[in-house]
Structure 1
């Protein structure tokens, strides 16, 4: 992997870029901008040897609009077909969320009065995650083992009232 500083003005947009061109008013544009402002430029744009962007078109647009004139890029040498496959894969492939863990993290961070919109989730999405996780937790009620002690569980199930014969 080759990482080099490159002037943003010489980077070319791939004609095959499958992502929509973001506008400053778009929520995704603002999420990318907020992330860069908060954390810096930490996810380098991937380009080929002729300076065509393979992955990172939206970040590049935001960086240019922010007045950034030079960035570190990862330069790869791939066939045109492999470049296109990589472009799609990097934009599509992602893991699934463990919503209970995500909800715990979001709650933990919100207690520290941190702006959670920096995560890329908006307030509506965060509230939905928390609500759905709480509903799932409420549905998963644990059984109290005391309900099944010898004293209470002689001939009838205390939960469903089913009579049971022993022996």
Structure 2
């Protein structure tokens, strides 16, 4: 298991057109975020204490639903990379309206399209939540959505999964 470090650094790689996280000399995480999806093209952004705390919160939230350590690490790093993603319009028409729920950051939720998709809330505001899809699935519009996609939806599209996932560690 990797432990966050102040030695980790984020940067945008123009050759790969991706946001990368340099973990050490031999290990690098390549996010799904291209230059067009970033709010700024980061040159060298050190991993912060806040990100280290979020790392453990995302990791621990995934424990009940993702048993594979490597997959949980990958999804945790995708969740962290979302903070560098530029804000996008919501895609609420992809999912059915649910009973009014209040979903918050680090919470597991379900989105109901043609498939029921489990997701993790990686950002939220008053009207919308941004959800990292933990599995592939099909939207109501027939669009195939890949695992690790982040999608912004109105709050009434996400139904919290009833579990105790508040196992957060401090950085």
Q: Is the shorter-chain TM-score for this pair beyond 0.5, marking a shared fold?
A: no
More strand by share: 2
Q: Under a length normalisation based on structure 1, what TM-score does the superposition of the two structures give?
A: 0.24
More helix by share: 1
Q: Under a length normalisation based on structure 2, what TM-score does the superposition of the two structures give?
A: 0.24
Rg (Cα) greater in structure: 1
